[in-house]
């Protein structure tokens, strides 16, 4: 099947005109969006696999590689749902005509919301999802054959956006409360930056969804919606993972030493089974770290911390 399918798109245009609506058929602009975003998620896959392969590297380990992997998988399902709901791809003749299976279940699970108390959040989503699945399609999310689109009932749409805004507000509140957390694991700046992007995206998408409820019919609106959604879902992942990933790749040992020194500065070495020293560490220009006193042998996640004279170097498996 070619993209776009001229015959299907002509039928969609005629179906929209028959009910007094104007429809912008899918064209190469939609294809570019699909290819571009697929490439972005391909890059994300490579980054996720790299993080998993290097999960014993302490700065990456502290970010929770398994949780970040789960978030990536969640974002892929969201991406499929977004292409479906925003109307970029042909639905007829595929499983994507199951609008409740993709369109609803992926809407509230976007990006950083995965970091809320997982059990509570997803239990609520499970309950809502079961209720929605039990409703008639006309009262939840249904496939419209003539337009080849998914359509969400307005009360359900209002409910879902209320959930999104409440979780945004809750995340902002929690982030503000923990802004003074010890700096070794302080991701407040990254989270605030990501929140800015995500709240901007949510504001724009809320406006589009309610000011133009039939936005998938309009090429400009559906492209804007998808682009901002992609920015939102990727903001928190890269905000948290970018620095340790690139440091692991390009300045692996030096960044480990800097990160380890910060652990000592914040008195968090016990969390990583590292020895406690009475004297503070200072860094020289060439690394490794210096101390005024020889340190005993210890381990960092099963690896040796070796000292020679006044120098301490860190190695891991």
C-alpha distances in angstroms, 148 versus 92, 158, 226? 6, 23, 18
| Confidence at residue 292, expressed as pLDDT on a 0 to 100 scale | 36
pLDDT confidence bin for 41, thresholds 50/70/90:
very high
Average pLDDT over residues 75-99: 87
Quote the tokens at residue 157.
Answer: 């749409």
pLDDT at position 305 = 41
111: number of Cβ within 10 Å:
23
The interaxial angle of helices 188-211 and 219-250, nearest 10 deg, is 170
Residue 223 exposure: Cα atoms within 13 Å on the Cβ side: 16
CA 286 centroid distance within chain: 37
- Mean pLDDT, rounded, of the chain: 76
Most confident of 102-116, 139-153, 274-288: 139-153
Query: Alpha-carbon distance 291 to 280, whole Å?
Result: 7
Q: Facing residues of 149 across strands?
A: 144
User: What pLDDT, on the 0 to 100 scale, is given for residue 136?
Assistant: 73
pLDDT of residue 307: 38
Contact 132, 80 (CB under 8 A): no
The two beta strands, 149-152 and 141-144, are antiparallel
pLDDT per residue as tens digits for the range 239-291: 889 989 999 999 999 988 888 887 777 665 555 555 444 333 333 333 343 33
Specify the higher pLDDT residue, 183 or 179: 179
Confidence of residue 178 (pLDDT cuts 50, 70, 90): confident
Tell me which of 227 and 288 has the higher pLDDT.
227
Q: Which residue has the higher pLDDT, 2 or 229?
A: 229
Nearest residue to 68 (alpha-carbon basis) of 242, 269, 248, 257: 242
Distance of CA 277 to the CA centre of its chain: 39
SS3 42: helix
What six digits make up the tokens of 228? 């901002």
Q: Are 307 and 292 in contact (CB under 8 A)?
A: no
**pLDDT at position 198, please?**
85
Residue 80 has pLDDT above 50, yes or no: yes
Question: pLDDT tens digit string along 183-206?
Answer: 555 567 777 888 888 889 889 999
Predicted confidence band at 106 (pLDDT cuts at 50, 70, 90)?
low
**Predicted structure pTM score:** 0.74
Run of H or E residues at 53 = helix 28-53
CA distance 199 to 197: 6
pLDDT score of 125 = 62
Confidence of residue 118 (pLDDT cuts 50, 70, 90): low
Query: What confidence category does residue 304 fall into, taking pLDDT thresholds of 50, 70 and 90?
Result: very low
How far apart, in whole angstroms, are the C-alpha atoms of residue 175 and residue 171?
6
Q: Are 34 and 42 in contact (CB under 8 A)?
A: no
**To which H or E segment does residue 74 belong?**
helix 65-85
pLDDT of residue 303: 38
């Amino acid at each position: 099947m070619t993209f776009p399918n001229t015959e299907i798109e002509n039928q969609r245009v005629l179906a929209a005109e028959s009910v007094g609506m104007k429809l912008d058929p899918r064209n190469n602009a939609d294809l570019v969006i699909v290819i571009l975003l697929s490439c972005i998620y391909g890059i994300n896959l490579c980054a996720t696999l790299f993080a998993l392969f290097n999960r014993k590297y302490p700065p990456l380990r502290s970010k929770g590689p398994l949780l970040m992997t789960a978030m990536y998988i969640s974002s892929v399902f969201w991406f499929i749902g977004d292409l479906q709901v925003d109307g970029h791809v042909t639905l007829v003749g595929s499983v994507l005509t199951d609008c409740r299976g993709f369109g609803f279940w992926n809407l509230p699970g976007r990006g950083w919301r995965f970091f809320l108390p997982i059990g509570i959040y997803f239990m609520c989503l499970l309950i809502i999802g079961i209720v929605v699945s039990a409703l008639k399609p006309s009262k939840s999310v249904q496939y419209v054959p003539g337009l080849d689109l998914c359509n969400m009932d307005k009360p359900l749409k209002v409910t879902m956006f209320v959930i999104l805004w409440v979780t945004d507000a809750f995340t902002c509140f929690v982030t503000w409360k923990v802004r003074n957390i010890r700096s070794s694991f302080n991701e407040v700046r990254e989270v605030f930056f990501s929140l800015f992007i995500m709240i901007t995206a949510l504001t724009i998408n809320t406006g589009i969804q309610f000011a133009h409820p039939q936005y998938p019919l309009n090429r400009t609106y559906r492209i804007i919606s998808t682009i901002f959604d992609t920015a939102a879902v990727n903001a928190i992942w890269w905000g948290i993972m970018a620095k340790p990933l690139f440091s692991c790749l390009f300045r692996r040992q030096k960044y480990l030493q800097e990160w380890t020194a910060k652990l000592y500065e914040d008195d968090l070495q016990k969390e990583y089974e590292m020895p406690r020293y009475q004297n503070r560490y200072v860094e020289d220009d060439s690394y490794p770290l210096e101390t005024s006193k020889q340190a005993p042998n210890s381990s960092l996640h099963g690896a040796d911390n070796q000292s020679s004279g006044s120098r301490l170097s860190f190695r891991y498996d």
